[in-house]
Amino acid sequence: MSEHTITVAGVAVDTRHWIGDERVASPQTFEDVSPIDGDTIGHISRGTAMEAAAAVAAAKAAFPAWAATSRAQRARILHAIADGVEKRIEELAIVETTDNGALLRSHRRGVMPRVAHNFRFFADWLLQLEHEDFETRGHTNHVSWDPAGPCVLITPWNAPLMLATWKVAPALAAGDTVVLKPAEWSPLTASLLADIAAEAGLPAGVLNVVQGYGSEIGDALTSHPDVRRISFTGSVPTAKRIAESAAANLTPLSLELGGKSPLLVFADADLDLAVDLAVEQYDNAGQVCLAATRLLVEESVAGEFTRLFVEKASALRQGDPRDEATDIGPNIHPRQLEKIDGFVQRAVAAGARAVIGGHRGDGQYYAPTLLTDVDQDAEIVQEEVFGPVLTLQTFADEDEAVRLANGTRFALAATVATGDPERAERVTGQLVAGTVWVNCFFVRDLQAPFGGSRQSGVGREGGTWSFDFYCDLKNTVTAPNGWNNHG
Ligand SMILES: NC(=O)C1=CN([C@@H]2O[C@H](COP(=O)(O)OP(=O)(O)OC[C@H]3O[C@@H](n4cnc5c(N)ncnc54)[C@H](O)[C@@H]3O)[C@@H](O)[C@H]2O)C=CC1
Ligand SMILES: O=C(O)/C=C/C=C(\O)C(=O)O
Pocket test for ligand 2, best of 233, 280, 284, 290 (most atoms within 8 A of CB): 290
Cα–Cα distance for residue pair 17/29, rounded to 1 Å:
11
Task: Look at residue 11 in the predicted model and tell me its pLDDT.
Answer: 98
Whether 256 is catalytic is: yes
The stretches of 88-223 forming alpha helices (DSSP H) are 89-100, 104-106, 112-127, 160-173, 188-199, 219-222
Write the DSSP assignment of 81-118 as a string of letters. Answer: HHHHHHHTHHHHHHHHHHHH---HHHIIIIIHHHHHHH
Helix, strand, or coil (residue 355): strand
Helix or strand (DSSP H, E) at 230:
strand 229-233
- C-alpha distances (whole Å) from 77 to each of 62, 116, 127, 197, 472 are 15, 12, 13, 8, 22
Give the distance (Å) from ligand 1 centre to CA of residue 238. 6
- Which residue of the set 51, 91, 256, 384 is catalytic? 256
Strands 413-417 and 457-458: unpaired
DSSP β-bridge partners for residue 395: 298
209 in Cβ contact with 194 (< 8 Å): yes
Cα–Cα–Cα angle for 166, 8, 105, nearest 5°? 55
Q: Which parts of the chain have pLDDT scores under 50?
A: 487
Cα–Cα–Cα angle for 373, 377, 379, nearest 5°? 80
Give the distance (Å) from ligand 1 centre to CA of residue 235. 5
List all residues whose CB is within 6 A of at least one atom of ligand 1.
Answer: 154-158, 181, 183-184, 213-215, 218-219, 222, 233-235, 238, 241-242, 256-258, 289, 336, 339, 384, 386
Q: Which domains does the chain have, with CATH numbers?
A: 5-257+456-475 (3.40.605.10), 262-438 (3.40.309.10)
Residue nearest to atom 10 of ligand 1 (CA): 235
**End-to-end Cα separation, the chain, in angstroms:** 70
Cα–Cα distance for residue pair 10/431, rounded to 1 Å:
48
> Which atom of ligand 2 sits closest to the CA of residue 259?
11
Give the distance (Å) from ligand 2 centre to CA of residue 149. 26
Cα–Cα distance for residue pair 339/302, rounded to 1 Å:
29
Task: Look at residue 483 in the predicted model and tell me its pLDDT.
Answer: 64
> Which atom of ligand 2 sits closest to the CA of residue 159?
8
Query: Who's near 60: CB < 8 A, 6+ residues apart?
Result: 149, 150, 177, 226
390 in Cβ contact with 371 (< 8 Å): yes
Query: Who's near 323: CB < 8 A, 6+ residues apart?
Result: 104
Nearest alpha carbon to residue 461 among 160, 206, 153: 153
Q: Rounding to the nearest 10 degrees, give the CA dihedral for residues 307, 312, 313, 317.
A: 150
Q: Which long-range contacts (CB under 8 A, 24 or more apart) does 349-353 make?
A: 350/378, 350/379, 350/380, 352/378, 352/380, 352/391
List all residues whose CB is within 6 A of at least one atom of ligand 2.
Answer: 158-159, 162-163, 233, 256, 288-290, 444
E-assigned strands of 278-411? Answer: 294-298, 353-356, 369-372, 389-395, 410-411
284: left (phi over 0), alpha (psi -120 to 50) or beta: left
What is the CB neighbour count within 10 angstroms for residue 135? 10
Give the distance (Å) from ligand 2 centre to CA of residue 107. 13
